[in-house]
Copies of this chain bind each other. A is one copy, B any other.
Amino acid sequence: MSYKAIQLIKRPSGDLTPDIFATVELPRPVLEEGQFLVRQTHMSLDPAMRTWLQEREDSYIEPVQVGEVMRSYGVGEVVESRNPDYPAGARVIGITGWAEYVLGNADMQVVDPAIDPEALLSVFYMTGLTAYVGLIRIGRPKAGETLVVSGAAGSVGSLVGQIAKAEGMRVVGIAGSDEKCRWLEEELGFDKAINYKSDNLGGQLDEACPNGIDLYYENTGGVIQPLVFERMNRFGRIVVCGMISEYNRDQPTPGPSWVDINLKALRVEGFVVVDHQDKAQEATEALAGYLQNGQLRFRTQVLEGLDSAIDGLSMLFRGDNTGKLLVRI
């Protein structure tokens, strides 16, 4: 008995290319006492995965080693178990990998089978926790303030904007196509969405943010960053959640001078969601509340088959996805 998996076979340099991965057949393991085997049904594709491919000093997480199965988050079903906490038939969510089957680990959580796995990966778990921690705990939103969120049509950005609306903010989203902008304004209730590939971005920001910008939720970096930065109000907060436009670069693009951070008393604070697992319960409850109040919508784009993950990961960096990107196996 064997199963299909995708291994990292060399480190990327610059843009992701399919040749850094290889599909292999691995033997299905014989379980020891305490182990359990999960047949994965849904995998999440996330920009952060790009940072797991690189060796970096001070990294927040061990990089995936060359020769290892690529790491991911996913949902699956326990198909065989020698662990009473994870009985056969249970649905679990956790760190999996690009594989049809994965050996369970103690960080996996058993989840209610009534909850749609797509909703689980799109609104709760790491995606929801990221949006919640970054906006609420780090950004500390106040009703009446103006939020700008980049990567607004992405999985995290779209939640951030909707939570901010629920908290009474004026919300302006930055996205990469007119279709995404329409979705943000018409379906998600953003006050304004700006296509960063259009002209006169500064003028569009001025119009969208007549009272300046109090909170910037940064998912992307890129051309929009300096334009938002120079429009920050005094005592503004910038939450650096992601820098997707930078992850494929060998040489990082410089950021803004710190003079404005000084004189406007700005706070620029980064975070990585894996450091905030202790807020998972709080986040889940808050997100469930927004969802029940009809304040959160999401869309998923589901790719079919394990192999689709390889190009799927690149789609995130091209901005080709619409909503939360998942692979169904």
Taking beta carbons and an 8 Å cutoff, which residues of A are in contact with B?
51, 56, 58-60, 212, 218, 221, 225, 233-234, 240-243, 246-247, 252-272, 275
Contact = CB atoms under 8 A, between A and B. Distances in A.
A268 to B, nearest CB: 4
A128 to B, nearest CB: 19
Given A267-B268, A268-B268, 18 more contacts: A58-B212, A60-B263, A218-B258, A240-B261, A242-B262, A243-B257, A246-B259, A252-B257, A254-B254, A255-B255, A255-B257, A255-B258, A258-B270, A261-B269, A261-B270, A265-B275, A266-B270, A269-B269
A272 B268 CA distance: 15
B272 A263 contact: yes
Contacts of A233: 58
14 contacts: A58-B234, A240-B258, A254-B254, A255-B255, A255-B256, A255-B258, A260-B270, A262-B272, A263-B270, A263-B272, A264-B270, A267-B267, A268-B268, A268-B269
Given A265-B275, A269-B267, A254 B252 contact: no
B234 A60 contact: yes
A242 B252 CA distance: 25
A32 B252 CA distance: 61
A133 to B, nearest CB: 11
